[in-house]
Structure formats: structure tokens, C-alpha cells
Amino acid sequence: MTYEPLSGIRVLDLTAVVVGPAATWRLGQYGAEIIKVENPEGDLMRGLGGLSPTGQQAGAYLHLNRGKRNICLNLKAPGASDVMQKLIEWADVIVANMRPKALARLGLDPETVRANHPEKIYCLLTGYGSDGPYGGFPTYDSVVQGAVGLPGLSMARDGVPRYVPLLICDHVVGEIAAGAIMAALMNRHRKGVGVTLEVPMFETMATMVLQEHLAAQSFDPPVGPYGDQRLLSPHNQPIKTKDGYIAITINTDPQVRAFLVATERAALTADARFASVSARAVNVAEWFKIRGAALEDKTTDEWLNIFRAADLATMPIHSIESLSRDPHLAAVKLITQEDHPTEGRTAVLRSSILADGKTLSPRSPSAPRGWDTGQILDELGYSKAEAQALLNQGAAVLD
């Protein structure tokens, strides 16, 4: 039996690029019915995400928009606002990541929507909280990365500021927004009331950074500097082997002893500087220098066998290419293939979550822009003549 705890929940998706689509994708993984509204230009991520056979289904778009039906509306054209109102009435949840002023101009801001539909759950994803001085500023993932200090952490460790080469803020905040929406659905189930949620990227990611790196400054008076000194150590890097790199983390006293024995440095097990968690915290620079020393006398596979025999947490440093060919991912069938309606054979990434040992439904492929416009208009009660009039006016687009 398919695990779809959100079956019957209807989500109106007014999002684009990554953070919003990541949130609604997660809701779709749990069985929510999603209608994605695109403007005639289409979601920027269709092309921004890279090459594709048609130029309209870049890989990132393909994966983030599974399980979503698609209607294309020109919200500035006559007639489109009526369609939007019908879609709002249809939905249980509205998710938007347009800038608040743009939503207000279209009458789609949370205040307007919930004044007419107080039972709805409206989730607004913003760059910065609307109550602060940055409220309404435009932003993208790399800008948020900079704002919350991710390149600054790299600077502190490596002497060079670097972005994480992944849209990490978009993905993390999207997942957090999905969790907030599911909590709101539970609250509505229990109490019968809707809510307006705002999930700002800056504050959400700043909280995550500060949970670790406020560190010893969390106390009054402070007991040490800002930053987790383990993570900021320049020696906290992948370890070079004879033929590549390996990742290993050792935290407990037994793990440290096992690591030192495995790397033929057993004499250091008697060194008081490294004998306990607290001692290693005081001597973190020296400990991480030892822990991060190159292991170039053996290959990565040889070290993996040695460390796994000692029950230590270790893995090879994958490239993007080797990750997609990882034998564990192949065994659990994380990546499969399917026929897409416009793109030919495409990769499918299943949900990583198991329910009673079974994977969640992979959901339908991502749709071309306006793919479901006609069907959705029919379901909203438009006659064929009315729907054609909307198409003729340019208020709706059928691809």
C-alpha cells in the first residue's frame, strides 16, 4: 500500500526556481495534490538549471517539480485573476516565493487571501523577514550563503571565502518550510484554523549557522571565541591517500584509540592531550593536525577496509560522477530511469524516505509549461468556450 499521508491535501504552488519548488516537491512526496502556476515565460529554472533536450526541462527543474500538474497563466491579463481565485478556493495550502510587493499588486498576498479565506494555510517564502530592514530585498542562494557567513566560515578555515557549490540554502529552507506546512495542517486538523507562515531564508540559515558557531559565545560571560574550533580547523579536510582522498570522523575516546592504532600511531593513545573529549577540545588544533595528516602509504580502498574493520565512520571522497555510480545507491535503486513526455529517457531520483520498509511513490514526471492548463480549467468549471476565450486573451496558455 502506498504511503501518502497528505493524500487529499491540495497545494497551490506559486513558486519558482528552487526554494519554493523544493518545499512543494516534499509535500508531493507525501501524496499532496499540487498545481503549479507558471507565467508565460516559465519558471526560470527550466533553463537556468542547465542543458536539456528541449531547453525547457533542465535537470534541477526535472527533479524538483515531479508530481506537480502545471497551469500557465498570465496574471496581468483579464480573466486570469478569476482563474486564480478559483484555484485559491480549490487549495488547502498556498505556497509562494514571489516578492511581497509583487504578490500585493496581484491581490495574492497572504493578507488579502486569508482575509477572504481564513481557513487556508498560506506559506510565504522570503529572502529576509518582512519585519526587518532587509524585508523585500531580492535574493538568491549565493547571496544568502554570503549573508549568513558560509563563505566566511571557509575564509576562517582556508583563508579563502568560498560558496558551497550546491544551492544549500534553497534546499534546506525549502525542507523546513515543508515541515512548517505539515505542522500547520496538523494544527488545522486539531483546531480547525488556518495560518499565515513566513519562512525567511536569511533568518532560517542564520539560526543553523549560529547553532554551531555561536559556540562558546553562547554564555554570559563568554567562555571562548566564536566558532566551533573543530570545524574551523584548517586540518578538518578530506585526508589524502595514495590514490585519492578519504573522509573519516572520530569523536569518542574508543574511536580515537582505534584510529591511532589503525594508523600506526598507538603511542599517542597515552598522550594526555588526546586522552579524552575534554582534553581534545582544549588541544583541538594539535589533535586535528594529527587527525588530518596524510595517509599516502595506502590506497583509499585499503584504508576503507582498515577503518571499517575498526568500526570507524569512513567513506571515500566521491566526485559527482562517482556518486551517481555508488554501489550502495545502485543497490537501493535511488536512481532509476523513465520516459518523459518531452525529454526522452530521464533519470528519476526516488525519495530517500522509507515507510514500513517501502519507498514512497515516485509521482509523475515534471510537466512542460502549461501541460495541464486545459484539464485544470475544465475541473475548475470553465466550459470549453470559456476556456478557449481565456486562451485567446492570453490569460491562459496551453502548451
pLDDT 10s digits, 16-28: 999 999 999 999 9
Residue 240's H or E segment, with its range, is: strand 239-240
Last residue of a domain, one of 275, 291, 316: 316
Average pLDDT of span 2-21: 97
27 falls within a domain: yes
Question: Is the per-residue pLDDT at 370 higher than 70?
Answer: yes
- Domains held by the chain: number: 2
Last residue of a domain, one of 316, 347, 373: 316
> Do both 196 and 264 map to the same domain?
no
Of 101, 110, 89, whose CA–CA distance to 35 is shortest? 89
* 60, 49 contact by CB (below 8 A): yes
Of 251, 159, 261, 172, whose CA–CA distance to 209 is shortest? 172
130 falls within a domain: yes
Quote the cell numbers at residue 130.
518582512
Q: How confident is the model at residue 2 (pLDDT cuts 50, 70, 90)?
A: confident
Cis peptide before 221 (omega within 30 of 0): yes
Q: Domain limits at 67?
A: 10-208+365-397
* 314, 304 contact by CB (below 8 A): yes
17 falls within a domain: yes
148 falls within a domain: yes
> Do both 126 and 62 map to the same domain?
yes
> Do both 103 and 37 map to the same domain?
yes
> How confident is the model at residue 399, as a pLDDT?
80
> Do both 153 and 108 map to the same domain?
yes
> Do both 160 and 14 map to the same domain?
yes
Average pLDDT of span 360-366: 92
Average pLDDT of span 331-356: 96
> How confident is the model at residue 268, as a pLDDT?
97
* 283, 274 contact by CB (below 8 A): yes
> Do both 179 and 257 map to the same domain?
no
> Do both 66 and 204 map to the same domain?
yes
Q: How far is CA 96 from the centre of its chain?
A: 16
Q: Is 336 exposed, middle or buried (0-12, 13-18, 19+ CB in 10 A)?
A: exposed
Domain CATH for 160? 3.40.50.10540
51 falls within a domain: yes
> How confident is the model at residue 366, as a pLDDT?
96
> How confident is the model at residue 281, as a pLDDT?
93
Question: Is the per-residue pLDDT at 13 higher than 70?
Answer: yes
101 falls within a domain: yes
Question: Is the per-residue pLDDT at 120 higher than 90?
Answer: yes
Outline where 148-225 has alpha helix (H): 150-158, 168-191, 201-213
Average pLDDT of span 109-115: 98
Last residue of a domain, one of 276, 294, 316: 316
* 130, 94 contact by CB (below 8 A): no
Question: Is the per-residue pLDDT at 388 higher than 90?
Answer: yes
Domain CATH for 267? 3.30.1540.10
> Do both 61 and 164 map to the same domain?
yes
Distance CA 38, CA 370 (A): 7
> Do both 15 and 159 map to the same domain?
yes
Average pLDDT of span 69-84: 96
Q: How confident is the model at residue 362 (pLDDT cuts 50, 70, 90)?
A: confident
> Do both 199 and 246 map to the same domain?
no
pLDDT 10s digits, 221-271: 999 999 999 999 999 999 999 999 999 999 999 999 999 999 999 999 999
Question: Is the per-residue pLDDT at 214 higher than 90?
Answer: yes
Q: How far is CA 283 from the centre of its chain?
A: 35
383 falls within a domain: yes
> Do both 275 and 382 map to the same domain?
no
pLDDT 10s digits, 264-308: 999 999 999 999 999 999 999 999 999 999 999 999 999 999 999
> Do both 15 and 152 map to the same domain?
yes
Question: Is the per-residue pLDDT at 174 higher than 90?
Answer: yes
> How confident is the model at residue 1, as a pLDDT?
63
> How confident is the model at residue 138, as a pLDDT?
95
222 falls within a domain: no
